Every structure is written in structure tokens, then in C-alpha cells.
Amino acid sequence: MTRRDLGRLAGAALATSQARNRIETEVVRLRLRHTWTVATSTSDYRDNLFLRFTAQGVTGLGEGAPLARYRENAREGQQALENVRADLETCDPWQFGKIMAEVFRRVPGNFAAKCALDVALMDWVGKKLGIPLYRYFGLDPRDSPLTTFSIGIDTPEVTRQKVREAAEFPVLKIKVGLDTDEATIAAVRSVTDKPLRVDANEGWKSKEEAVRKILWLERQGVELIEQPLPAHMIEESAWVRERVNMPIIADEACLHAEDVPKVAGAFDGVNVKLAKAGGILAAWRMIQTARALGMKVMLGCMIESSVAVTAAAHLSPLVDWADLDGNLLIANDPYRGVRVREGRLILPDAPGLGLTPA
Ligand code: MG
């Protein structure tokens, strides 16, 4: 090696050590097609946190959907990530597992912001490897289950209209949990005899009411019920479970992998969401924890764009049920990624998440 080669090498090393990763965050307002009402809230838009992570000439894109229910919002999440910005700017993104473990240790709460970072890192990793993320996890995209399409709480007339708009979807997820439940299900059943899944979003207040409503739903062609009682009522959920036949799925009662053992006796399955868990890696751990305990797994989402929904979709070959429709509920999705054909999730084949601008 000549002196000039050595000098060039040293220069390259210096350039590498000085090249900082670029982290850009942005709060984006996603507008809902229909006013979105569930048992605990109503909204016309959601502010989600988007994150771009650029290193070595490649940019990974991430998104996290903070929920007021979990006392999170996008601005605070954006601020929380500023506390680790210096480390993210100098990190080696190939150490994504170590990076996320460190961020989980240092940043309290703000799981949606952690999700935005994790998704961006995993998109970066997939792009660098030149493979779609499902392949990184060793999965077969043909194993992805059908996704439900969610119908928020509304008047019977609008409910009927929404059900007609969802003609393409073979299974619907109906939001209940207010005193309009009977009218809602009657409106749905006046238009379709499709299988239904029902989400009460903690709306029923006693175990007796939950049993009565679930036994009634069993006669309406409903396959499963999500979070019938408030999150803290774990013992009451176990009581309900002994008295009904359909599977009961924990959502608000089970946010992280460490919550899964706490709900194991009281629920048949858990609804795993990237924004609750804090990203793809955390969601993967949560799925494996549920499987180790013999539980069923649903993969859900928030109101979010194709960025976060596609990230979740790459794990969907692992689960029993998918509810990945958040991007279909908004009017201004900035990206395209996972598609749905007759309810079936079609994963993109491009590297990383496989997103393209809309
Ligand atoms: Mg739910």
C-alpha cells in the first residue's frame, strides 16, 4: 500500500466518523373520511409523528400514532426524542436492537414516538439489505390473514352506508360500547350477513352487562369480542370468559409484552399494535410472548397512514387475525404500501417497508 493509499484510507475513515445520521421529525395531521367515534372518544383528525432516519445515503421512514387514551401526543413524543437526538446522530444503525433497547431505557412513555423511530430504523435496515421486511423476519407473505374493515359508531343510517362502502371486505369490525349497541348491530345486519367482529373499547361497565351483551352478540353471527370491560377489570374479564363462548381479546388491557402474562387467564388473545408496544421489534416480542402462553393474536393499528399500517402488515403472517385498516379510514394518506384485495393483505415486495409516495 502506498503512502497515498494510506492517506486516502485515513481520509475515508475520518469522513465516516464525522458523517452524522440525519433525524427529521414532523407532526402530520391525518384527516378522517368519516368522523371517528368509539366508546371512549370522537375525532375528525389525528396528529401523528413521522420520522425520517438518514444514514449512509439511505433514508428509512417511520410513523407513530399517539393516543390520548394512553396520555400521549405527537408534540411530546417529538420532544422526548430530542433527548436522544445526539446519540441517534452518531449511532451505527446496524445496531438497531441495541439502539431501541437504549431508547426504551432512557425515554419514559411515548411509545408512539419510539414506534416512529423503530419503524424508520427497520425500513432503513430492509433497504440496506435490499429485502422486504417480512423476509427479514423469515415470513411468507401468503400467510397474511384477511383484514377486517372497521365501522365506527354512528347513526343507523350512516352505519348502513359505511357497511355498503365496505362491500369489498369479507369480515367487518363493528365498534360498540355505548347505549346504541342494539341499533348499531341491527343496522349492520339489515345490510349484510357477513361475519362480524366487535370491539367495545372498554364501553361496558359491569361483568353482568358484558355477559348479557356477548351472549346476544353470539346469536348475531359475531366471531369475537374485543375489550368488553375497562382495562383494569382483569378479574371481571375472567368471570365473563367462563360464561361465554366467543374468544375475548385484550386491547386496552394489554399494551406491552410484559402485560401479556397479566391478561393470560382472563382473555383468549391479545391485540398487538405497534403504537402501543413501541415499534416492530417490540410488537414481535409481544406476539412471541402471547404464543408462548398459548394465546391467540390479533394485529391491530391506530388511525394512521400507510407507513405504520404497512410496518405492521410485514408481521401479519404471524397472527390469527388482522385489523389493519387505519390507512383506509383517512383522506390524505401521504404514502402507498400494503394493499388490500377482497380483504386480503398484499405486502409490498420492495426493500424495507416498500413504500412509495401517494
Ligand atoms: Mg380495540
Counting beta carbons within 10 angstroms of the beta carbon of residue 140, is it exposed (0 to 12), middle (13 to 18) or buried (19 or more)?
Answer: exposed
Look up residue 87 and give its three cell numbers: 446519540
- Residue 160 identity: R
Confidence of residue 2 (pLDDT cuts 50, 70, 90): low
Q: Is residue 71 part of a domain?
A: yes
- Residue 334 identity: P
3 state DSSP class of 12:
helix
Ligand 1 centre and the CA of 301: distance in Å? 9
Same domain, 91 and 235: no
pLDDT value for 5: 55
Cβ–Cβ < 8 Å for 240, 267: no
Task: Supply the CATH number for residue 124's domain.
Answer: 3.30.390.10
3 state DSSP class of 144:
coil
Same domain, 33 and 168: no
Q: Is residue 248 part of a domain?
A: yes
Domain with 97, as residue range(s), is 22-130
Q: Please tell me the distance from the alpha carbon of residue 285 to that of residue 50, in angstroms, as a whole number.
A: 23
Same domain, 157 and 204: yes
pLDDT tens per residue, range 154-191: 999 999 999 999 999 999 999 999 999 999 999 999 99
pLDDT value for 3: 55
Q: Is residue 100 part of a domain?
A: yes
- pTM for the model stands at 0.93
Ligand 1 centre and the CA of 320: distance in Å? 15
Confidence of residue 6 (pLDDT cuts 50, 70, 90): low
End of a domain among 96, 114, 130?
Answer: 130
How many domains is the chain partitioned into structurally? 2
Average pLDDT of the chain, as a whole number: 95
Same domain, 105 and 190: no
Ligand 1 centre and the CA of 256: distance in Å? 14
Q: Is residue 11 part of a domain?
A: no
Least confident among 4-8, 69-73, 223-227: 4-8
Ligand 1 centre and the CA of 250: distance in Å? 8
Ligand 1 centre and the CA of 80: distance in Å? 26
Strands (E), the chain: 22-38, 41-55, 58-64, 149-151, 172-175, 196-199, 222-226, 248-250, 269-272, 296-299, 321-322, 335-336, 339-341, 344-346, 356-357
Q: Is residue 4 part of a domain?
A: no
Ligand 1 centre and the CA of 178: distance in Å? 14
Same domain, 152 and 75: no
Q: Is residue 178 part of a domain?
A: yes
Query: Which residues have C-beta within 8 Å of that of residue 47, sequence separation ≥ 6?
Result: 27, 28, 29, 30, 66, 73, 74, 75
Ligand 1 centre and the CA of 230: distance in Å? 12
Q: Is residue 9 part of a domain?
A: no
Selection from 70, 30, 15 nearest residue 275 by Cα: 70
Cβ–Cβ < 8 Å for 40, 203: yes
Counting beta carbons within 10 angstroms of the beta carbon of residue 187, is it exposed (0 to 12), middle (13 to 18) or buried (19 or more)?
Answer: buried
Ligand 1 centre and the CA of 54: distance in Å? 33
Same domain, 38 and 160: no
Ligand 1 centre and the CA of 332: distance in Å? 23
Selection from 49, 14, 15, 12 nearest residue 30 by Cα: 49
